[in-house]
Amino acid sequence: MNQIQIMFTKPTPSRVLIADDDPVMRHLLTTVVKQQKCEVVMASDGRQAYRILQSDSKFRAAILDINMPFLEGLDVVQYMRSEKRLMKIPIMIITAEENLKLMNDSFSAGATAFLPKPFTPEQLESAILLLLHSQKMTRGAS
């Protein structure tokens, strides 16, 4: 008897890594990301984000604060861009600095988007939509 085997592949989960040492920002970012039907994985500093990324690469996007204890956001960006399994994940950098050099440094390190504080809810929502959309474009292009 011929047997037909059907393999079900698990779809890539819509998970977003959020790393910020400020609980106010973490809550705000989490709420907006969840609005987009994404699951959130949280880190309260750069080292925690790095440890999560060492064993987990199934993220649709990452949102990183630039100024975090133990490991800066840009160090996490550089790590992600140096690892094959992480390098296609879109990254948004959030910072309390409105600094052109910092923005250039973020893009040079491999960030996809840069959002300075303060931001309005609309700006945050559109930035997150843009970030999630950029993953789709990356996948479509590859």
Catalog residues that contact another protein under the rule CB under 8 A: 21-25, 27-28, 31-32, 34-35, 67, 69, 92, 95-98, 103, 107, 111-127, 130, 134
Is the Cβ–Cβ distance between 89 and 82 less than 8 Å?
A: no
- Shortest separation between residue 20's beta carbon and another protein, angstroms: 9
> Exposure of 66 by Cβ count < 10 A (0-12 exposed, 13-18 middle, 19+ buried)?
buried
* Of 17 and 113, CB closest to another protein: 113
- Shortest separation between residue 30's beta carbon and another protein, angstroms: 9
- Shortest separation between residue 65's beta carbon and another protein, angstroms: 8
Q: DSSP letter for 7, please.
A: P
Is the Cβ–Cβ distance between 109 and 73 less than 8 Å?
A: no
